[in-house]
Amino acid sequence: MSRLLPWAVLVISVLLTVLVTFMIHTSMHNAAEERFNAQIDATVYAIQNRIKTYDQVLGGASGLFAASEVVTRAEWKYFVENQGAVGRFPGIQGVGVSTIIYDKDHLASHIEQVRNEGFPNYTVWPEGDRKEYHPVFYLEPLDARNQRAFGYDMYSEPTRQAAIELARESGLPTLSGKLTLVQETGIDVQPGFLIYFPLYDNKKSIQSAEDRINAFEGFVYAPFRMNDLMTNILGDTHNDLVFVICDENEDPENIMFDYAKINNIDESDIDYTFTKTLTINVDQRNWILKFNALHSLHDDVENPLIVLLLSVGFGLSAALFFIFRAHNKILRLTEQSVREEKMIAIGELSARLVHDIRNPLTAITSWAQLIRLSLKEKPNEKISNHVDSILDTTERITFQLKNVMDFVKAKPKTITSHSLTSLFDESVKSTPIPNEVKITIPKTDLKIECDSSQIIIVFSNLITNSIQAMNGKGNIAVNFEVKKNNVIIEFVDTGPGIPKENMSKIFNPLFTTKETGIGLGLVSCKSIIENHKGTISVKNNPTTFTIKLPLKQ
pLDDT in tens, 306-329: 777 788 888 888 888 888 788 777
CB burial string 338-368: b at 16+ within 10 A, e below: eeeebbbbbbebbeebbeebeeebeebbeeb
**β-pair partners for 483:** 486
Comparing 349 with 56, which gets the higher pLDDT?
56
Asked if residue 162 has pLDDT above 90, the reply is: yes
| pLDDT tens-digit map of 438-455 | 999 888 889 899 998 889
Give the pLDDT band (50/70/90) at residue 294: very high
Q: What is the pLDDT of residue 338?
A: 45
Average pLDDT of the residues in 459-488: 90
Question: How far is C-alpha 240 from the geometric centre of its chain's CA atoms?
Answer: 11
Question: What ranges make up the beta strands (E) of 141-269?
Answer: 174-175, 192-200, 216-225, 241-247, 255-258
Asked if residue 511 has pLDDT above 70, the reply is: no
Q: What's the start-to-end Cα distance of the chain, in Å?
A: 28
Q: Are the CB atoms for 434 and 467 separated by under 8 Å?
A: yes
- For residue 491, the SS3 value is strand
Comparing 97 with 92, which gets the higher pLDDT?
97
Cα–Cα distance, 102 to 108 (Å, whole number):
11
The region of weakest confidence among 102-116, 208-222, 294-308, 409-423 is: 294-308
Q: Are the CB atoms for 289 and 278 separated by under 8 Å?
A: yes
Comparing 228 with 527, which gets the higher pLDDT?
228
**β-pair partners for 221:** 96, 196
Q: What is the pLDDT of residue 352?
A: 58
DSSP annotation of 128:
S
Cα–Cα distance, 40 to 37 (Å, whole number):
5
- The arrangement of strands across the sheet holding 535-539 comes to 437-440, 474-483, 486-493, 543-550, 535-539
Comparing 376 with 537, which gets the higher pLDDT?
537
DSSP annotation of 501:
G
Average pLDDT of the residues in 87-111: 90
Q: Could you give the C-alpha distances from 469 to 39, 105, 223, 424, 493, in angstroms and in order? A: 42, 94, 69, 20, 9
Residue 277 CB: number of other CB atoms within 10 A?
12
Q: What is the pLDDT of residue 541?
A: 86
* Prior bond of 90 cis (ω within 30°): no
Asked if residue 385 has pLDDT above 80, the reply is: no
Q: Are the CB atoms for 447 and 418 separated by under 8 Å?
A: yes
Prediction pTM value: 0.56
Rg (CA), the chain: 40
Q: What is the pLDDT of residue 339?
A: 44
Comparing 58 with 373, which gets the higher pLDDT?
58
Share of the chain above pLDDT 70, in %: 84
Cα–Cα distance, 239 to 501 (Å, whole number):
55
Average pLDDT of the residues in 84-102: 86
Q: What is the pLDDT of residue 333?
A: 65
Average pLDDT of the residues in 225-237: 87
The region of weakest confidence among 19-23, 152-156, 215-219, 396-400 is: 396-400
DSSP annotation of 392:
H
Tell me the average pLDDT of the chain. Answer: 85
The region of weakest confidence among 131-140, 475-484, 496-505 is: 496-505
Asked if residue 158 has pLDDT above 50, the reply is: yes
The region of weakest confidence among 154-168, 470-484, 503-517 is: 503-517
Q: Are the CB atoms for 349 and 356 separated by under 8 Å?
A: no
Asked if residue 492 has pLDDT above 80, the reply is: yes
Q: What is the pLDDT of residue 244?
A: 97
Cα–Cα distance, 289 to 470 (Å, whole number):
50
